[in-house]
Amino acid sequence: MELTGAEIFVRCLRDEGVEYVFGYPGGASLHIYDALYKQDAVKHILTRHEQGAAHAADGYARSSGKPGVALVTSGPGVTNTVTGIATAYMDSIPIVVFSGQVATSLIGNDAFQEVDAVGITRPCVKHNFLVKDVKDLAATIKKAFYIATTGRPGPVLVDIPKDVTACKTEYHYPKEIALRSYAPVTKGHSGQIRKAVDLIVQAKRPMVYTGGGVILGEGSKPLTELVRLLGYPCTNTLMGLGGFPATDPLFVGMLGMHGTYEANMAMHECDVLVAIGARFDDRVTGDLAKFCPHARTVHVDIDPASISKNVPVEIPIVGSVAAVLKEMIKLVKDSKTRVDKAALQAWWKQIDEWRSLGCLKYEHSDKVIKPQAVIEKLHELTAGGAFITSDVGQHQMWTAQFYKFDKPRRWINSGGLGTMGFGLPAAIGAQFAHPGETVVCVTGEASIQMCIQELSTCKQYSLPIKIVNLNNRYMGMVRQWQEFFYDRRYSHSYMDALPDFIKLAESYGHVGMQIDKPADVEGALKEALKLKDRLVFMDFITDQTENVYPMIAAGKGQHEMQLSPCHRGATSERELA
Choice among 239, 420, 475, 477 that is catalytic: 477
Q: Could you tell me if 375 and 303 lie in one domain?
A: no
pLDDT at 568: 63
Q: Which helix (H) or strand (E) holds 103?
A: none
Q: Which CATH number goes with the domain that contains 15?
A: 3.40.50.970
Q: CA angle, 365 as apex, 360 and 369 as ends, to 5°?
A: 85
DSSP single-letter state for residue 562 = B
Q: Could you tell me if 446 and 387 lie in one domain?
A: yes
Q: Could you tell me if 350 and 375 lie in one domain?
A: no
Q: With respect to residue 398, please indicate whether it lies within any of the assigned structural domains.
A: yes
CA 254 to chain centre: 14
Q: With respect to residue 241, please indicate whether it lies within any of the assigned structural domains.
A: yes
Instruction: Say whether 449 is catalytic.
Output: no
Choice among 50, 376, 445, 454 that is catalytic: 50
Q: DSSP 3-state assignment of 281?
A: coil
The dihedrals phi and psi of 346, each to the nearest 5 degrees, come to: -65, -35
Please write down the long-range contacts of 552-555, taking CB distance under 8 Å and 24 or more positions apart: 552/256, 552/257, 552/258, 552/264, 552/286, 553/484, 553/485, 555/286, 555/287
Residue 183 CB neighbours (<10 A):
10
The amino acid occupying position 33 is Y
DSSP states of 228-248 as a string? HHHT--EEE-TTTTTSS-TTS
Segments forming the whole domain that contains residue 56: 2-170
pLDDT at 408: 98
Q: Could you tell me if 155 and 74 lie in one domain?
A: yes
Choice among 2, 39, 112, 517 that is catalytic: 112
pLDDT tens digit at each of 577 positions of the chain: 899 999 999 999 999 999 999 999 999 999 999 999 999 999 999 999 999 999 999 999 999 999 999 999 999 999 999 999 999 999 999 999 999 999 999 999 999 999 999 999 999 999 999 999 999 999 999 999 999 999 999 999 999 999 999 999 999 999 999 898 899 988 999 999 999 999 999 999 999 999 999 999 999 999 999 999 999 999 999 999 999 999 999 999 999 999 999 999 999 999 999 999 999 999 999 899 999 999 999 999 999 999 999 999 999 999 999 999 999 999 999 988 889 999 999 999 999 999 999 999 999 999 999 999 999 999 999 999 999 999 999 999 999 999 999 999 999 999 999 999 999 999 999 999 999 999 999 999 999 999 999 999 999 999 999 999 999 999 999 999 999 999 999 999 999 999 999 999 999 999 999 999 999 999 999 999 999 999 999 999 999 999 999 999 988 999 999 999 888 644 444 343 3
Q: DSSP 3-state assignment of 522?
A: helix
Q: CA angle, 576 as apex, 574 and 577 as ends, to 5°?
A: 70
Instruction: Say whether 145 is catalytic.
Output: no
Domain count, the chain: 3
The dihedrals phi and psi of 307, each to the nearest 5 degrees, come to: -80, 130
Choice among 126, 142, 143, 162 that is catalytic: 162
Q: Could you tell me if 112 and 230 lie in one domain?
A: no
- Dihedral sign, CA of 390, 43, 124, 116? negative
Answer yes or no: are the C-beta atoms of 315 and 258 closer than 8 Å: no
Choice among 19, 43, 113, 483 that is catalytic: 113
Question: Rounded to an integer, what distance in angstroms lies between the CA atom of residue 347 and that of residue 299?
Answer: 22
Q: With respect to residue 414, please indicate whether it lies within any of the assigned structural domains.
A: yes
First and final C-alpha spacing in the chain: 79
Q: Could you tell me if 298 and 381 lie in one domain?
A: no
Instruction: Say whether 113 is catalytic.
Output: yes
Q: DSSP 3-state assignment of 299?
A: strand
13-26 residues labelled b (16+ CB within 10 A) or e (exposed): bebbebebbbbbbb
Q: Could you tell me if 389 and 523 lie in one domain?
A: yes
pLDDT at 291: 95
Q: With respect to residue 177, please indicate whether it lies within any of the assigned structural domains.
A: no
Q: Which CATH number goes with the domain that contains 351?
A: 3.40.50.1220
